[in-house]
Amino acid sequence: MSSRQITVIANWKANLPPSEEVALAKAIAEELGSALKVKGSPSSLRLLLAPSALGLVPVASLLRREYPEAGIDVAAQDVSLSSAGAFTGEIPAEHFVGIAPAIIVGHSERRRDRGESDEAVGVKLARVVAAGLAPVLCLGDNLPSADIAARVDFVQAQCAAAFAAAERAGCNATQLYAAGLVIAYEPVWAIGTGNPASVEIAEAIASGLRSALNREELPVLYGGSVDAASAATWFGTPSARTGLDGLLVGGASLHADRFVAIVRAALAVTEPA
């Protein structure tokens, strides 16, 4: 039985207004009840919901006030490049303190739609760490028919570029790890397409990153068209876990029943309390 912690993150993107995000969080918390605490040890499964920026406070308040036994927390979907100050419309990392313990950085939709470069991703990593929060760094190739070695090379280079930019912004690898860095491998061709990567590809990326960074304990999640029916394959079995440490889920996390089924698949491989 592996003692590696599993992290499952729901990325709701900009799909729902805050009132519907609160309703969805409530439905998930009610369906799960105290399952996380009953089955897993407090640290064996970490469940994070990432609502829109407007939904973060009401969802976090709901979970903390009404469902403290559910053991669910929130994550932010993105963060500003700026620190606090006269930057209209921005949300600096330090403003998430006390609200969201983790922040997603470098999602492929931001790289694609907002031209977010590795340099910008590195600055955001540094901002998150300086605020005392944990970054979830999204990496992923856009090479639908490449062989595994080419994908590993691409993602290693993307990771190295983000780490180098973070270091230029004052945050080295040791500080990233100490802050609780999690990497999410999200191949662009798998996101929202109904065409997930194989476990073999995701495991190769995870082990490639761990060896490039010389960090065996680096947590690596997979994201891209994960659904309830296939959720168990990403975790393996209690005695033979895959090389992955969890999932970042988009579309399926907008449906309480599908998302809860994914969380139950994760629970099935965690250690009993």
Measured between alpha carbons, how far is 228 from 247 in angstroms, rounded to an integer? 12
Stretch of residues binding ligand PEP (CB under 6 A), selected from 30-38, 117-125, 199-207, 223-231: 223-231
Cβ neighbours of residue 109 closer than 8 Å, sequence gap 6 or more:
13, 191
According to the binding rule CB under 6 A, does residue 191 interact with ligand PEP? yes
CB count in 10 Å sphere of residue 189: 18
Measured between alpha carbons, how far is 115 from 109 in angstroms, rounded to an integer? 9
Cβ proximity to ligand PEP, 163 vs 222, nearer residue: 222
Out of 7, 225, 242, 270, the only residue in the binding site for ligand PEP (CB under 6 A) is: 225
Provide, rounded to whole angstroms, the least separation between the CB of residue 227 and ligand PEP.
8
Crossing angle between the packed helical segments 148-168 and 199-213, to the nearest 10 degrees: 40
Torsion (CA) 142, 143, 144, 146 in degrees, nearest 10: -160
Short-list 138, 218, 136, 216, CA closest to 177: 218
Cβ proximity to ligand PEP, 33 vs 192, nearer residue: 192
Q: Annotated catalytic sites, by residue? A: 107, 186
Cβ proximity to ligand PEP, 67 vs 110, nearer residue: 110
Measured between alpha carbons, how far is 123 from 106 in angstroms, rounded to an integer? 10
Torsion (CA) 109, 154, 180, 266 in degrees, nearest 10: 80
The count of residues interacting with ligand PEP (CB under 6 A) is: 13
Provide, rounded to whole angstroms, the least separation between the CB of residue 273 and ligand PEP.
29
Provide, rounded to whole angstroms, the least separation between the CB of residue 224 and ligand PEP.
5
According to the binding rule CB under 6 A, does residue 40 interact with ligand PEP? no
- Within residues 234-263, the interface with ligand PEP by CB under 6 A covers 248-252
According to the binding rule CB under 6 A, does residue 11 interact with ligand PEP? yes
Cβ proximity to ligand PEP, 78 vs 203, nearer residue: 78
**Contact residues for ligand PEP (CB under 6 A)?**
11, 186, 191-192, 223-226, 248-252
